[in-house]
């Protein structure tokens, strides 16, 4: 961050202008708010003792400057707050880990993490089950009205005798799965293979495709059963 800036009225105004004009969260010194608090205390002391040291006009000028300082600091805080809220919402929507948090102060990073946790929990509780239900319905409809893919048709054209003679066996054959024990309740969901799985209860055992099982194991929602 370079040399530490001394807090002045002009410095605060420039920092506010940067937050106004730029979309990204601007870097500030880690002790910024502590320094601002000390600066405001010094200004307040000048205002409190101004009746003895300055004229009435100068005292009013000092009070006006203090009020303006507080307005600048309030807007500065709220603009950064809004940017942090937007970043948390964006991460909750996309699940991306590419959000740059290097310019956040410790209190701002704490706010960001708490917002993301709350937003993710609400999406998982309300939105995701609705979307999964819709996708599961689509999958069920496709299962009721199966369509032979172009790749299967092509295979039949290439080796029709082999496929036709053992067609039933090929359809019933399933890829080997991984046996897991469910550690927490899991609602019905749709895997990347567009197949629906679940719901699963705590303690239930299930044999799932490796890709699906790996996700549950990685998120510690299941444990591996030795086979």
Give residue-wise pLDDT tens across range 139-188.
555 555 444 344 434 433 433 333 233 333 332 334 568 889 999 888 88
Q: How far apart are CA 169 and CA 154, in angstroms?
A: 19
Burial track 93-122 (b if 16+ CB lie within 10 A, e otherwise): eeeeeeeeeeebbeebeebbeebbeebbee
Q: What's the confidence (pLDDT) of residue 112?
A: 94
Helix/strand/coil for 205: strand
Q: How far apart are CA 22 and CA 63, in angstroms?
A: 31
* Share above pLDDT 70 across residues of the chain, in percent, rounded to a whole number: 75
Q: What's the confidence (pLDDT) of residue 55?
A: 67
Q: How far apart are CA 87 and CA 206, in angstroms?
A: 38
Q: Of 220 and 60, which is predicted with more confidence?
A: 220
pLDDT tens per residue across span 11-61: 999 999 999 999 999 999 999 999 999 999 988 887 776 555 556 777 778
Confidence band for 68, pLDDT divided at 50, 70 and 90? very high
Tell me yes or no: is domain 148-224 CATH 3.10.180.10.
no
For 9-121, CATH number? Answer: 1.20.58.1030
Contact 4, 34 (CB under 8 A): no
148-224 has the same fold as 9-121: no
**Structural domain boundaries in the chain:** 9-121, 148-224
Question: What are the φ/ψ torsions at residue 136 (nearest 5 degrees)?
Answer: -65, -35
């Amino acid at each position: 961050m370079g040399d530490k800036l001394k807090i002045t009225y002009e410095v605060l105004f420039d920092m506010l202008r940067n937050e106004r004009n730029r979309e990204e969260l601007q870097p500030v010194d880690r002790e910024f708010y502590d320094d601002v608090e000390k600066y405001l205390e010094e200004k307040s002391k000048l205002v409190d003792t101004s009746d003895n040291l300055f004229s009435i006009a100068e005292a009013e000028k000092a009070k006006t400057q203090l009020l303006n300082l507080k307005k600048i600091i309030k807007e500065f805080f709220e603009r950064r707050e809004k940017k942090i809220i937007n970043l948390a919402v964006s991460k909750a929507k996309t699940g991306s880990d590419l959000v740059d948090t290097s310019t956040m102060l410790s209190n701002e990073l704490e706010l960001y993490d708490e917002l993301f946790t709350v937003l993710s929990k609400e999406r998982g509780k309300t939105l995701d089950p609705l979307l999964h239900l819709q996708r599961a319905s689509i999958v069920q409809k496709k299962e009721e009205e199966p369509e032979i893919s172009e790749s299967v048709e092509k295979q039949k054209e290439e080796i029709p005798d082999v496929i036709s003679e053992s067609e039933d066996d090929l359809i019933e054959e399933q890829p080997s799965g991984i046996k897991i024990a469910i550690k927490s309740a899991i609602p019905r969901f749709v895997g990347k293979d567009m197949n629906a799985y679940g719901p699963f209860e705590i303690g239930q055992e299930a044999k799932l495709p490796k890709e699906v099982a790996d996700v549950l194991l990685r998120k510690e929602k299941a444990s591996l059963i030795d086979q």
